[in-house]
Amino acid sequence: MCQNAEKKVYDLGVVVEASLKSLLGALNLLTTEAGTTVINAFDAILADLKIWQSGSTAQNIIQLLTDFQGLLSQLPIRSEYVVLLNIVLGGVEAIIGMLTGNSPAPAPEGVEVAPDTIDPDTQEAHAVTVAATTAAKINVLVPDFKPSVWHTPATQYNTAWNNAVDTGAFPPSLKV
């Protein structure tokens, strides 16, 4: 499990929301019913992320994030903004991965194991597998993304977002 996972996942959620608001504002969707629904859904996720504890299950938050992804897919996003939408979706995948990797490893098929009795090697293997799977999912959405152990997830997300704004000829006001 990663150190200070609670803060890292919450901080990532905060920057994802900032970029989401920026995107919705640029598309004139922020104050629409659909935009308000999306922001309210993410606010509920942030509230849950704020109280989540590493080592506890996060299935409810992961379900909210999955539902949120469905809400995003219903928004009328102009084609030139899909690159930014994909970064938001990549941020959501990163949050899901961080929650999953820092939750108790699943028990072997057909075996009942209390979460606090999972051996450290099994937990570490679970975290490594989840990290690799998450990185692959993010790279599908954001092909130029390169994970770094030297920067926080929130910093990496911000850099990816701001680079996309710069290279996509978007207004600088979209930067977060």
pLDDT tens by residue, the chain, 176 residues: 567 899 999 999 999 999 999 999 999 999 999 999 999 999 999 999 999 998 888 999 999 999 999 999 999 999 999 999 999 999 999 999 999 999 988 877 777 766 667 788 888 999 999 999 999 999 999 998 888 888 999 999 999 999 999 998 899 999 98
Of the candidates 108, 109, 20, the one whose C-alpha atom is nearest the C-alpha of residue 65 is 20
Residue 159 lies in a domain: yes
Residue 47 lies in a domain: yes
Write out the residue range of the structural domain in which residue 76 sits: 5-105+120-174
What's this model's pTM, rounded to 2 decimal places?
A: 0.92
Show the DSSP H helices in the chain as ranges. Answer: 5-26, 33-51, 59-73, 82-101, 120-141, 153-167
Residue 115 lies in a domain: no
Domain count, the chain: 1
**What type of residue sits at position 130?**
V
CA distance 165 to 158: 11
Please write down the long-range contacts of 31-34, taking CB distance under 8 Å and 24 or more positions apart: 34/74, 34/75, 34/76
Residue 112 lies in a domain: no
End-to-end CA distance of the chain: 28
Residue 157 lies in a domain: yes
The encoded tokens of residue 159 equal 């850099």
Of the candidates 156, 157, 169, the one whose C-alpha atom is nearest the C-alpha of residue 19 is 157
